[in-house]
Structure formats: structure tokens, C-alpha cells
Amino acid sequence: MKTYALALSAMAAVFASACSPSAAAPAPSRFQQEHAAWVQQRAADLRKPDGWVSLIGLHWIEAGRQNVGAGKDNGIRLAIGPDRLGQLEQRTDGLYFKPAEGARITADGKPLQGEVQLLPEGKGGATKLGYDQGKGQITAIKRGQRLALRVRHADAPARVGFAGLDFFPADEAWRVPARFVAHAAGKTLPIASVIGEINNSPNPGYVVFEKDGRTWRLEALGDPAQGLNLMFQDQTTGRQTYGVGRYLHTDAVAADGSVTLDFNRAYNPPCAYTDYATCPLPPPENRLAQKGANAQPVRLAVLAGERKYALAQH
């Protein structure tokens, strides 16, 4: 009986220890804290009143005049807005907008009284039209030789129903050291987009890294001195992660060519959250696939970064 009582006492001590506050999960590491803060900031950026989930339309513009508004008789019909907002006209020298009578519209934050030229999004900055007391925003974009109106609204269903982001658990093993190898100056890489256009983008070089006992390679875009932009697909694409692929931005490449690929920060392109984005697609070279034994395909499964996104159901 004494032995049995001692055993019970020991079991009780173990149980009490396991349930005590001191046995709680260990505090997150600095790496985990920094990653959580990064994810939180990314979600906040997406959900801004003019973030990607605020998009409500992408309207390709035809030559001539088109009425703009939410009414059925408009050539460009807004998903959210007044019945009649104004009139758009594409001329040989640019794109122009004139507000409808009584419409309260701003251009770059100032009340719009007459016609204004809409400069498309780009390095020089776009002309921004505001309506619905600033909740609605319209800009022009240029893709190839085509122009379109990109429309945002703070009450967009995708923003109202934003479900937050879903990431694989942060894992330092996916902070992978890599080496940047420069291409000859002036090299470009054809990059297709979800709207079917192909642009030859500056391709300064590629990165090579080791993972799962193999050497992998990704072609890079961007400026090595500012940080590389990588677009890739892997074995999780279309399964656990977004079907188009994911993006990754690095810090600046060091003088010796070293750079870290933190796949924990691989993120979905804007078209994962909206049908109104014109996302570039990962090039075929960046599918993280190679031939293994007997010519069988081998793919790297990047079990890090952002998973698929699903709009919240209400």
C-alpha cells in the first residue's frame, strides 16, 4: 500500500507540474515575434481602405466617350457608387474625365469642378479620383497599349469579408542562405500576366540555394542593391498554397553575392484576393522542379510562407 501511495503521489506531482503555469508553452523566440509582426503588418496593408481587398472593378477603356456610374445605362458600370459619376473620354493625347452634374468628386484630394486628365499609375504617380466622401477611389492603369480604370471602395465585399492571412508555422530552417549569380548586363526575362500580356522584365541574375540535399535555382527580378524579387511555384502550389504561385522579396544582396531567402515571408500575389488585379506569373524557370533518378521529376515543397486565402463567409 505504501508503494502504491507513493506512485499515486508521484503521478499527482507530474500532473500538477504539467498543468502549472511554469509548464506552459515556451515564449516565442525573437524570430517568431518578428515574423508575427511582419504578418500582422502585411494583413493591415491589404485591408487599408485602398488596399488590394478594396478593389471592386477593373474596366478596360474603349476609344471615344463612356459614361461612368453604378446605373445600368453606363458604359463603365461601377459595383458601388452613384448612378451617374461622370464621363470618360480617351483621346489621342490622353485619358480625360468630366464629372456629372451634381457629382461630388475630388482629383488628388481637391474638389473637381471641370475636366481633368487621368495620368495612369506609374513612377510619376497617378491621378486619383475620389467619390462617396473618399470611400471610393478611381485611378487609371496602363498595360501594354491598353488603358483601364481601377476602382476601389472601402465597402468592397472582399474588404468587409477579409478573413485574415494563413501562414505555415514560422520555421527558421526556411531561412535559407543563397548566392546571387549575375547575368550579363541588359538581360531580360519574359514575364506573362494573368491578363495574357507578356513583358520583358530586367533579369539581373539568379539565386542558387541548397535544400533537401539538392541545389535549386530561381531567376530574379529587381535591383540587387535594393533587394531581389522572386516569383516561384513549388510542390505545394495549387494544393496547400495559391494556384498561381507565390512571391518573395529579399534584402539587398551583399558585396560577396550572399543573400538570405526567408521563405517564411513568401506571400500571395494580389490576384489571390481579388479578380481585379493584373498579377505577373512565375516564369517556367522558377517552378522549383528538376529531374531525379530515372528522369523522374523532383519538386521542392516549400512548407513555409502564406497558404491559400479564402474570403470569410457571412
Query: Domain-by-domain residue ranges, the chain?
Result: 52-160, 172-299
The whole-number pLDDT of residue 27 equals 86
The whole-number pLDDT of residue 124 equals 77
Cell of 4: 502504491
Architecture of domain 52-160: Sandwich (2.60)
The whole-number pLDDT of residue 185 equals 95
Read off the amino acid at residue 227.
Answer: G
The rounded average pLDDT for each run of 10 residues, N- to C-terminus, in the chain (314 residues) is 40 44 73 96 96 97 94 97 96 94 96 95 90 97 94 96 95 98 97 95 98 97 98 97 98 98 98 95 96 85 96 56
The model carries a pTM of: 0.87
For residues 253 and 225, the answer to whether their CB atoms sit within 8 Å is yes
The whole-number pLDDT of residue 294 equals 79
The whole-number pLDDT of residue 2 equals 39
Nearest to 230 by CA among 195, 200, 257, 206: 206
The whole-number pLDDT of residue 206 equals 98
Residues 6+ apart with CB under 8 A from 235: 288, 299, 300, 301, 302
One-character DSSP codes across the chain: -HHHHHHHHHHHHHHHHHHSGGGSPPPPPHHHHHHHHHHHHHHHHHTSTTSGGGEEEEEEPPSEEEEEESSTT-SEE-SSS-S--EEEEEETTEEEEEEPTT---EETTEE--S-EE-PPSSTT----EEETTTTEEEEEEEETTEEEEEEEETT-HHHHT-----BPPP-GGGEEEEEEEEPPTT-EEEEEBTTS-EEEEE--EEEEEEETTEEEEEEEEEETTTEEEEEE--TTBTTTB-SS-EEEE--PPPTTSEEEEEGGG-B--GGGT-TT---B---GGGS-EEE-GGG-EEE-----SB----PPP-
**Virtual CA dihedral for 204, 210, 212, 215, nearest 10 degrees?**
70
The whole-number pLDDT of residue 23 equals 56
